[in-house]
Amino acid sequence: MSHSLVLDLSDANKLLVGHQDHYIRPANSKDLPQISAIEQLTSAYPCSNKQLQNCIHQTYVLCQESAIQGFIVIAIVENQAELHNIAINPEAQGKGFGSLFLQGLIQALPTRIEQFYLEVRVGNYRAIRLYHRLGFVKIAERKDYYRHGLGREDALVMARPCKQ
């Protein structure tokens, strides 16, 4: 299947200039084993391989040489974009790659995109700090949105304008 969300990644990859062996590219079906492995390592309730396959045309990967270090799933409808998933290999976490990766994809979004949305667990403080640094603000809260252990956890809905 061809990549339905085509982004110009040249500016996104310029953000990685200090990391010569890293680059961002569209994902393809051959990437699924590495994407799935990262999803299993980073999510308490990981997506199934079928779910990952179904959104492969909306997925971008951060590579170090030929190894995938992270992935992002972005959906675009009309003039809005939504982050569906972001995950960085635990071995590559804490080095700023999540921030550079997301920042690069935000810059690569088509100019018609006015708003970028995401949902995050209220307890995912590390991600919330990252999103605040990238200009996202809380616009709503969804009660009991995520499974959490034997209970449920709220989600923050965050957004940022893309034309800053």
Of the candidates 119, 125, 141, 145, the residue annotated as catalytic is: 119
Is 131 among the catalytic positions? yes
- DSSP per residue, the chain: ---SS----HHHHHTTTTSTTEEEEE--GGGHHHHHHHHHHH-SSPPPHHHHHHTGGGEEEEEETTEEEEEEEEEEETTEEEEEEEEE-GGGTTSSHHHHHHHHHHHHS-TT--EEEEEEETT-HHHHHHHHHTT-EEEEEEEEEEEETTEEEEEEEEEEES--
Is 119 among the catalytic positions? yes
Residue 3 has pLDDT above 50, yes or no: no
Number of domains making up the chain: 1
Structural domain of 41: 10-161
Q: What is the model's pLDDT at position 1?
A: 37
Whether 2 is in a domain gets the answer no
Whether 56 is in a domain gets the answer yes
Whether 105 is in a domain gets the answer yes
pLDDT per residue as tens digits for the range 80-111: 999 999 999 999 998 889 999 999 999 999 98
Whether 1 is in a domain gets the answer no
- Residue, of 60 and 14, whose pLDDT is higher: 60
Of the candidates 131, 141, 145, 153, the residue annotated as catalytic is: 131
Rounded average pLDDT over 48-65: 94
Residue 149 has pLDDT above 80, yes or no: no
Whether 153 is in a domain gets the answer yes
Whether 3 is in a domain gets the answer no
Whether 110 is in a domain gets the answer yes
CATH of the domain at 58: 3.40.630.30
